[in-house]
């Protein structure tokens, strides 16, 4: 039986660094690679632990909200942030193994898993925003529209075609959204089971573009109701999503430019985004407690 890691065997051992390893210090040529510098290892570890902690806090708060309310659409957020937290583990492993010449296949494997999980995480978060008004907007509008089966099979109802098409798209879109990251990453294996660095870098570009689109969608859906309600105090979470969008944008710059500042900047922006998210949650929850204390006085 073939070792699963051989799927990611890199054909060219002397190729330059991958996306996240632009801060690597390669010594000499022909595959002589230095060991991971302790400072970089420590930096990666601290960033990973901080990111996981922040994601866990966010996931915990939204999971508690889901448990309390039973609103199914809220489950997308904790799931998404839990998957994101898992992706950071693989990101750290990828950085660690990117310095190891002997384990280059593992490096690509971890990078592949990280890309898949990160996109899937953002897709799950977007799912919450996509499904939030599902009850009122898609199944029936004032009870006048036909059910999904009638839409598809009854020619008498085709007069409402535009509304019907919108309904069909709305019901299929969440499934497409969730399956895109998996399809993109798995299809790369079908095209060529032995992934080389160039292919995995290309895949990272596609997934990053997907993340940018998804985060843009989340930002718009998140900011709209707050602007409508003229609630500027609650704009922290849209700002946090904007920072996560900026992180992906920095990664795109890094892809084309191999700019180490863009990569380090993306990490800092990500931490700032997640930190702001946690602060926004604490602010939202503590404002209730403060109000209660004022009432008690």
Site residues (vs another protein, CB under 8 A): 61-62, 65, 68-70, 73-74, 77, 128-129, 132, 221-226, 229, 231, 234, 236-238, 280-281, 283-285, 287-289, 291-292
- Residue 255, CA atoms < 13 Å, CB-side half-sphere: 19
C-beta of 159 vs 288, nearer to another protein: 288
Query: Measured from the CB atom, is 124 or 263 closer to another protein?
Result: 124
**C-alpha–C-alpha distance, residues 79 and 120, integer Å:** 10
Closest to 17 (Cα-Cα) out of 5, 25, 28, 7: 25
Shortest distance in whole angstroms from residue 62 CB to another protein: 8
Task: Specify whether the backbone of 8 is left (phi greater than 0), alpha (psi in -120 to 50) or beta.
Answer: alpha
CA nearest to 97, candidates 114, 86, 110, 84 = 110
Nearest CB to another protein, comparing residues 77 and 113: 77
Residue 56: CB atoms within 10 A of its CB come to 16
Other C-beta atoms lying within 10 Å of the C-beta of residue 133: 13
Q: How far is the CB of 230 from another protein (least distance, A)?
A: 12
Q: Which is nearer to another protein, 166 or 291 (CB)?
A: 291
- Hey, what are 70's tokens? 């039973």
The nearest distance, CB 136 to another protein, in angstroms, is 10
Total H helices, total E strands in the chain: 9, 0
Nearer to another protein, 262 or 281 (CB): 281
Contact of 218 with 125, CB cutoff 8 Å: yes
- Closest to another protein by CB, 168 vs 284, is 284
Q: Which is nearer to another protein, 41 or 216 (CB)?
A: 216
> Considering only CA atoms, which of 237, 243, 216 is closest in space to residue 283?
237
81, 128 contact by CB (below 8 A):
no
Q: How far is the CB of 244 from another protein (least distance, A)?
A: 14
Scored b (16 or more CB within 10 A) or e, 139-153 reads: eeeeeebbeeeebee
Q: How far is the CB of 56 from another protein (least distance, A)?
A: 16
The sign of the dihedral angle between the CA atoms of 217, 218, 223, 228 is positive
Spatial separation of the C-alpha atoms in residues 202 and 208, rounded to whole Å: 10
> What gap in Å lies between CA 105 and CA 110, rounded to an integer?
9
In whole angstroms, the minimum distance from the beta carbon of 223 to another protein comes to 6
Q: In whole angstroms, how close is the CB of 261 to another protein at the nearest point? A: 31
Tell me how far, at minimum, the Cβ of 272 lies from another protein, in Å. 18
Of 195 and 278, the one with the shorter C-beta distance to another protein is 278
């Amino acid at each position: 039986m073939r070792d699963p890691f051989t799927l990611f065997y890199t054909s060219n051992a002397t190729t330059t660094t991958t996306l996240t390893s632009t801060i690597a210090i390669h010594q000499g040529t022909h595959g002589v690679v230095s060991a991971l510098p302790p400072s970089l290892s420590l930096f990666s570890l601290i960033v990973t632990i901080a990111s996981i902690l922040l994601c866990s806090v966010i996931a915990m708060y939204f999971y508690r909200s889901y448990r309390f309310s039973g609103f199914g659409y809220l489950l997308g957020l904790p799931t998404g942030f839990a998957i994101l937290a898992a992706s950071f583990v693989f990101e750290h492993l990828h950085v660690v193994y990117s310095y190891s010449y002997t384990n280059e296949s593992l490096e690509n494997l971890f990078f592949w898993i990280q890309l898949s999980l990160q996109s899937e995480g953002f897709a799950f978060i977007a799912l919450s925003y996509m499904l939030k008004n599902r009850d009122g907007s898609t199944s029936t509008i004032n009870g006048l529209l036909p059910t999904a089966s009638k839409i598809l099979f009854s020619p008498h109802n085709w007069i409402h075609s535009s509304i019907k098409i919108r309904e069909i798209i709305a019901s299929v879109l969440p499934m497409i959204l969730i399956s895109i990251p998996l399809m993109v990453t798995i299809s790369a294996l079908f095209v060529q089971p032995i992934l080389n660095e160039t292919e995995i870098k290309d895949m990272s570009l596609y997934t990053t573009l997907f993340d940018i689109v998804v985060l843009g969608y989340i930002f718009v859906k998140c900011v709209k109701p707050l602007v409508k309600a003229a609630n500027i105090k609650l704009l922290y979470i849209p700002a946090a999503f904007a920072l996560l969008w900026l992180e992906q944008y920095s990664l795109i710059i890094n892809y084309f430019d191999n700019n180490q500042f863009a990569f380090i900047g993306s990490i800092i922006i990500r931490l700032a985004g997640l930190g702001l998210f946690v602060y926004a949650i604490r602010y939202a929850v503590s404002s209730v407690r403060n109000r209660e204390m004022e009432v008690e006085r």
